[in-house]
């Protein structure tokens, strides 16, 4: 029989638009504080969208020396800081664990896009011979995982996942599988993104995907609201320590939650639009429930992908109804993106962190800016006000361009011996 081991989360590290520590992130989440503002580090005057959810108060030199930091893309710096936070939170003694069985898998949708822009401008304005020798390792999406493994000496499985906005959830699903089947005992996993750049913003603006509510940035991200006009770009990183249960217990690690299932599917429909009937998303949720061995009625809460796009919110609502039947009207759902924006490849990891913290604190954060619900989005989206809730089992959804769908199932940890 194949090995099937229990997998738990024992550490969380965060770099987000509403906080770079667990406490700050949680306090802003539960208070419904938006991280969206006018973009102040780029000249975006020619773009129809001039807002984003930017990371604030980030000190790259906290965990990285100055020379090394200059040789890293911002997305890589975010990943190292989030990973360091997770390692510290998990209280890992690196000298006492088998580093050959500790790995890293991180997701990123666009990798070092800022680096690509800067180096391309050197070619255009000067000469291709002036391009940095560090251009390629600063740009490629896998290098965040590589740098994190170097930082902590983790010599186990090491790779990156790229599945657009599902990238970090993909990474977490892969880490879960690696530990579950016995290929590793511990994994640093999650995602990172630093995509608030001219190229990225211009591309999404051209695709008419972004909100242009520039006069009210904090009101711009409106998942499931009838007045939504697109998503808001975000950035940051969230990294977890995922660990085999007995390995965690042997070092007396605190346990936030247990991963008990995952579901993956493809829409096979369109490069950017979701299948209108939500078929792919429904199948990912059903597969996750089957993998976890639970019924829809066992789920107490859903963290929605909830991007505030016209098609996406309706398709996800339809998918939840398909997957959960009548229980869809009983289970509370919220969108973390309403406050932190859309972290693209890092979105799923930040939202899983929000899911875990809500589970541990017995509180649901609000979906802010949900003032006039879309009649086609008629489920309980926890509008505008936090709510007490007993969350024993939760699903977190991530859906990406290209039709990538991933659902992760978490439950409160119970020691069964």
CA-based diameter of the chain, in Å? Answer: 65
Residue 21 lies inside a defined structural domain of this protein: yes
Phi first, then psi: what are they for 154, rounded to 5°?
A: -80, 115
Answer yes or no: are the C-beta atoms of 348 and 168 closer than 8 Å: yes
Residue 2 lies inside a defined structural domain of this protein: no
Indicate the DSSP class of residue 64: S
Q: Comparing C-alpha atoms, which of 292, 309, 315 is closest to residue 395? A: 292
Residue 286 lies inside a defined structural domain of this protein: yes
Domains held by the chain: number: 2
Do 245 and 268 fall within a single domain?
A: no
pTM exceeds cut of 0.75: yes
How much is the pLDDT for 3? 62
377 is catalytic: no
Do 211 and 301 fall within a single domain?
A: no
Do 245 and 320 fall within a single domain?
A: no
Do 230 and 272 fall within a single domain?
A: no
Residue 1 lies inside a defined structural domain of this protein: no
How much is the pLDDT for 240? 99
Residue 283 lies inside a defined structural domain of this protein: yes
Check which CATH number belongs to the domain holding 228 and give it: 3.40.47.10
Cα 173 from chain centre: 12
221 is catalytic: no
How much is the pLDDT for 2? 53
Q: Tell me the C-alpha distance between 135 and 112, whole Å.
A: 9
Do 278 and 306 fall within a single domain?
A: yes
Q: Tell me the C-alpha distance between 284 and 197, whole Å.
A: 32
Do 310 and 266 fall within a single domain?
A: yes
Do 178 and 134 fall within a single domain?
A: yes
Residue 98 lies inside a defined structural domain of this protein: yes
Do 245 and 300 fall within a single domain?
A: no
Catalytic residue among 81, 165, 377, 404: 165
What tokens appear for 361 in the block? Answer: 């604190």
- Of 194, 227, 250, the last residue of a domain is 250
Catalytic residue among 81, 305, 365, 404: 305
Q: Tell me the C-alpha distance between 47 and 206, whole Å.
A: 9
Do 182 and 278 fall within a single domain?
A: no
Provide the residue range defining the domain that includes 358.
Answer: 262-411
Residue 335 lies inside a defined structural domain of this protein: yes
Catalytic residue among 81, 342, 365, 404: 342
Residue 417 lies inside a defined structural domain of this protein: no
Residue ranges of the chain whose pLDDT lies below 70: 1-3, 417
Do 39 and 143 fall within a single domain?
A: yes
How much is the pLDDT for 415? 85
Phi first, then psi: what are they for 52, rounded to 5°?
A: -165, 170
Do 278 and 229 fall within a single domain?
A: no
Q: Tell me the C-alpha distance between 20 and 159, whole Å.
A: 25
- Of 221, 250, 279, the last residue of a domain is 250
365 is catalytic: no
Do 227 and 282 fall within a single domain?
A: no
How much is the pLDDT for 338? 98
């Amino acid at each position: 029989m194949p090995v099937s081991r229990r997998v738990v989360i024992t550490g969380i590290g965060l770099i987000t638009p509403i906080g770079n520590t667990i406490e700050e992130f949680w306090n802003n989440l539960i208070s419904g504080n938006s991280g969206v503002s006018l973009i102040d580090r780029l000249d975006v005057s020619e773009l129809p969208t001039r807002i984003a959810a930017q990371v604030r108060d980030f000190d790259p030199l906290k965990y990285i020396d100055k020379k090394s930091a200059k040789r890293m893309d911002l997305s890589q710096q975010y990943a190292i800081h989030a990973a360091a936070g997770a390692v510290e939170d998990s209280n890992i003694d690196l000298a006492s664990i088998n580093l050959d069985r500790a790995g890293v898998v991180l997701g990123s949708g666009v990798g070092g896009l800022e680096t690509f822009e800067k180096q391309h401008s050197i070619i255009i304005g000067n000469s291709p011979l002036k391009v940095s020798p560090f251009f390629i390792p600063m740009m490629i999406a896998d290098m965040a995982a590589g740098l994190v493994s170097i930082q902590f000496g983790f010599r186990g499985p090491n790779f990156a996942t790229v599945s657009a906005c599902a990238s970090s959830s993909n990474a977490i699903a892969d880490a879960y599988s690696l530990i579950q089947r016995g290929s590793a005992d511990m994994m640093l996993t999650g995602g990172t993104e630093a995509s608030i750049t001219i190229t990225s913003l211009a591309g999404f603006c051209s695709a008419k995907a972004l909100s242009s509510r520039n006069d009210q940035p904090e009101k711009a991200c409106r998942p499931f609201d009838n007045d939504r006009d697109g998503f808001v770009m975000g950035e940051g990183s969230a990294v977890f320590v995922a660990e085999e249960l007995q390995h965690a217990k042997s070092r007396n690690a605190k346990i936030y939650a247990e991963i008990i299932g995952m579901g993956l599917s493809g829409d096979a429909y369109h490069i950017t639009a979701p299948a209108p009937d939500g078929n792919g998303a429904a199948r990912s949720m059903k597969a996750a429930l089957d993998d976890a061995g639970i019924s829809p009625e066992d789920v107490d809460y859903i963290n929605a992908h909830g991007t505030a796009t016209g098609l996406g919110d309706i398709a996800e609502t339809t998918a939840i109804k398909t997957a959960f039947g009548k229980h869809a009207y009983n289970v509370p759902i919220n969108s973390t993106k309403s406050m932190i924006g859309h972290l693209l490849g890092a979105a799923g990891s930040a939202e899983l962190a929000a899911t875990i913290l809500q589970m541990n604190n017995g509180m649901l954060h609000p979906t802010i800016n949900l003032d006039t619900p879309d009649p086609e989005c008629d489920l309980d989206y926890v509008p505008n006000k936090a709510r007490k809730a007993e969350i024993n089992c939760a699903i977190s959804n991530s859906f990406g361009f290209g039709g990538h769908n991933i659902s992760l199932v978490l439950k409160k940890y119970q020691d069964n011996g």
